C-alpha cells in the first residue's frame, strides 16, 4: 500500500510541480485572462464526491454489521454519484471555453483534472464490479475484503480531488 501511495504521490506530484511552475514562476494571473474556471460547478461536484465517500463508508459499515441491503444501497449510490461527478466534469470540459492548445494554463488544468478523472473512472469500474458482486451475494459480515479495498481506493480518489479542487479552483 505504501508503494501505491508513493507512486501516486509522484504521479500527481509531477503534475502539481508543472502547475506551480506555471502559476508562480511565470507570475501570470490564475486563471489566465480571459478564461474563467467554473468554480460553482466544481464546488457542486466536490459535494457530490464527498457525499459519495459517506455512502461508501455506509456500505462498508453496513456489511461489517451483516446488513447486506445497506451495503448494496451504499455501493449503488456511490457508483451513481461517481458517475454524476464524471458526467459533470465532461460537461465542464465542453463548456470551459478553452482547449489544451490554448496555452500552458489550459494544458495543466486539463492534465490535473483529467488525471483525477482517470482515477475516478478506474474507481467507477471497481465500484461496478463491487456492486455486481454485492448483488450476487459475494460479501458477508466475515468476508468483505473486496468492499474494504474498493472503499480505500475511493476515499483516496476523494482526498486527491480535495487537493486538486483547493489548488486549481479555489486558491
Partner 1 sequence: MRNPLRSEAEAYRFLWVVIGGAAVIIAAAFINTWLGVAVAVLVFGALGWWLMKEPQPGAADPPPVVASGPPPGTRRVLVVAPPGTEAVTVPDGAEVLVVVPALASTREAFTGTADDRRDEAEATAAALESRLPGARVEVGAADPALAVEAALRVFGADEVLVAGDDGMLEAIRERVALPVSRV
The residues of the shown chain that bind partner 1, judged by CB under 8 A, are 1-2, 5, 50, 53, 56-57, 60-61, 147-148, 151-152, 155-156, 158-159, 162-163, 165-166, 170-171
Q: Considering beta carbons, is residue 98 or 165 the nearer one to partner 1?
A: 165
**Complex with partner 1: residue 122 or 159, whichever CB lies closer:** 159
Q: What CA–CA distance (Å, rounded) separates 15 from 20? A: 9
Helix H, strand E, coil C: the string for 42-81 is: HHHHHHHHHHHHHHHHHHHHHHHCCCHHHHHHHHHHHHHH
Q: How far is the CB of 74 from partner 1 (least distance, A)?
A: 11
Distance from C-alpha of 156 to C-alpha of 159, rounded to nearest angstrom: 5
CB of 53 to partner 1, least distance (A): 6
In the complex, the smallest distance separating the C-beta of residue 158 from partner 1, rounded to whole angstroms, is 5
Smaller CB separation from partner 1, 22 or 106:
22
Nearer to partner 1, 48 or 152 (CB): 152
Nearest Cα to 75, choosing from 51, 56, 61?
56
Element (H, E) at 113: helix 104-135
Instruction: Tell me the closest approach of the beta carbon of residue 152 to partner 1, in angstroms.
Output: 5
Amino acid at each position: 500500500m505504501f508503494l501505491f501511495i508513493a507512486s501516486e504521490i509522484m504521479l500527481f506530484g509531477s503534475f502539481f510541480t508543472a502547475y506551480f511552475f506555471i502559476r508562480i514562476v511565470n507570475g501570470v494571473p490564475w486563471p489566465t485572462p480571459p478564461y474563467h474556471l467554473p468554480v460553482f460547478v466544481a464546488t457542486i461536484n466536490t459535494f457530490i464526491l464527498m457525499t459519495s465517500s459517506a455512502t461508501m463508508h455506509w456500505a462498508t459499515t453496513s456489511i461489517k454489521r451483516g446488513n447486506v441491503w445497506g451495503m448494496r444501497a451504499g455501493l449503488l449510490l456511490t457508483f451513481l454519484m461517481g458517475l454524476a461527478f464524471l458526467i459533470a466534469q465532461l460537461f465542464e470540459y465542453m463548456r470551459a471555453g478553452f482547449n489544451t492548445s490554448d496555452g500552458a494554463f489550459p494544458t495543466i488544468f486539463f492534465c490535473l483534472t483529467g488525471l483525477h478523472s482517470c482515477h475516478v473512472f478506474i474507481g467507477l469500474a471497481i465500484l461496478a464490479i463491487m456492486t455486481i458482486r454485492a448483488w450476487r451475494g459475494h460479501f458477508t459480515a466475515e468476508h468483505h475484503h473486496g468492499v474494504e479495498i474498493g472503499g480505500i481506493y475511493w476515499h483516496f480518489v476523494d482526498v486527491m480531488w480535495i487537493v486538486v479542487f483547493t489548488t486549481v479552483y479555489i486558491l
